[in-house]
Chains A and B, each alone.
Chain A
């Protein structure tokens, strides 16, 4: 079974630029999560999708971050414009249902550096 795929693996941008990350979840997984992991900290949930609907985006900085999951499969996370404090690893995870522990997998992450 293929795991969660993310691209790119690394991205370096200047502040105020835009960036987009892509995630392809495990086939058949209805729930998709985007987490932000700042160096030295645990992952923090940004947004959770159930199929193509948003379940929880309470911690997503909506003035600059946006995410979509078209057709309930792949997802993209966008930051526009980026700030220095957005430097982090952005992790995508998917699970069979709304419970992260049920067959969940994390992707390898995209490491973003904002200069």
Chain B
């Protein structure tokens, strides 16, 4: 089946720093989604990308749909303590979803 490689697996950063994480796959996807999951909660949708090359922002978050349709990137600018959590990418193709294994973000005040 389709697999997503999400990296890095974890990040420890200082408050105020910028963060970058990415997802890559050998398969092509038509839609890329980025989620954040807090402990004991379900994932919450952050950004949806529908077109190759698309760059979309949501506040301090910016995500891009790779030109090859096999990758996507999420950037967080000026991190704050509440950015702590696990970030997941998900790729969609033919109605089927594949999730990455997440990037755990820790922000030190």
Chain A residues in the interface with B (C-beta under 8 A) = 4, 40-45, 55-56, 91, 93, 98-101, 104-109
Contact = CB atoms under 8 A, between A and B. Distances in A.
Nearest to A103: B45
Contact of A4 (B42, B90, B101): B42
A42 B42 contact: no
B42 A101 contact: no
Which 5 interchain pairs have the tightest Cβ spacing? Answer: A106-B42, A42-B99, A101-B48, A42-B101, A41-B101
Q: Which of A43, A44, A106 has the most CB of B within 10 A?
A: A43
Interface string B8-35: 0000000000000000000000010100
Interface residues of B, number: 21
Contacts of A41: 101-102
Which of the listed residues B31, B45, B90 has the most CB atoms from chain A within 10 Å of its own CB?
B45
Contacts, number: 50
A45 to B, nearest CB: 6
Given A106-B42, A106-B44, A101 B96 contact: no
Nearest to A93: B42
30 contacts: A40-B101, A41-B101, A41-B102, A42-B4, A42-B6, A42-B88, A42-B99, A42-B100, A42-B101, A43-B43, A43-B88, A43-B99, A44-B99, A45-B96, A55-B95, A56-B95, A56-B96, A91-B42, A91-B43, A99-B95, A100-B33, A100-B92, A101-B31, A101-B33, A101-B45, A101-B92, A106-B42, A106-B43, A107-B42, A108-B40
